[in-house]
Amino acid sequence: MSATIINTLLDKTKDLSLEETLSFLANEYQDKVIFSTSFGQEDQVITDFIFKNDIAIKVFTLDTGRLFQETYDVFHKTLKKYKKQIEVYFPEATAVENLLKEKGPNSFYDSVENRKECCFIRKVVPLRKALAGNAVWITGLRAEQSENRNDLQLFEYDGGFDIIKFNPLLKWTLEEVEDYLKEYNVPQNVLHKKGFVSIGCAPCTRAIFPGEDIRAGRWWWESSHKECGLHSAKKE
């Protein structure tokens, strides 16, 4: 069933622009299309498309409690520019309290398992809550961001969250993203100009060095696939 839906969406949108595709999805799945933003460059491009064109797509963000102040600054500037609502989802307070009580505030540095536990509590659980009851999840994923994102499709079924995922910027280059943001004066995180390409929680993100992989600044102390669980769920 999911394969049929994906093929139908690919066929119906193959000749549509990004804006037209977003409008089509909003009309096709009324009140059940949702976009997750972390206020990174890619997400700001999609936010601009949605807000300036008044497309009926819900926009939300996950506040892990460990974000950079610069990320909150972009959040605030985005609200002021577009005067549109962005819903915020937080981790369950009890789960965070128990984690810190049992393992301390920096347990994610000790092992991959601990880091994934923290990501699960602060990101995955709130994301499940945000996605519940929706049909389409729009993301800012790009294929060149990491090796394990090279096999992504424009539309795909995410079996982990039981939802159709739409990756509109899949084939965009970083240069195209940056050019768009500059042309349309879209708010950006000032950390991008300091070598931060992929920005997550403050304790888990650093600037990258020339020649390093785009995701090298995330969880730099480990040699995992550099994913937190949001976009590594099983597909069917």
Per-residue tokens: 140: 């800012």
Cα separation, 121 vs 123, in Å, equals 6
**C-beta neighbour count of 81 within 10 angstroms:** 15
Q: Match 């965070």 to its residue by tokens.
A: 96
Q: Match 């070598």 to its residue by tokens.
A: 195
CB under 8 Å, gap of 24 or more: what pairs does 46-50 form? 46/138, 46/140, 46/168, 46/169, 47/78, 47/82, 47/186, 48/180, 48/184, 48/186, 49/18, 49/19, 49/22, 50/22
Give catalytic residues, as residue numbers.
228
List CB contacts of 15: < 8 A, sequence separation 6 or more.
none
**C-beta neighbour count of 198 within 10 angstroms:** 20
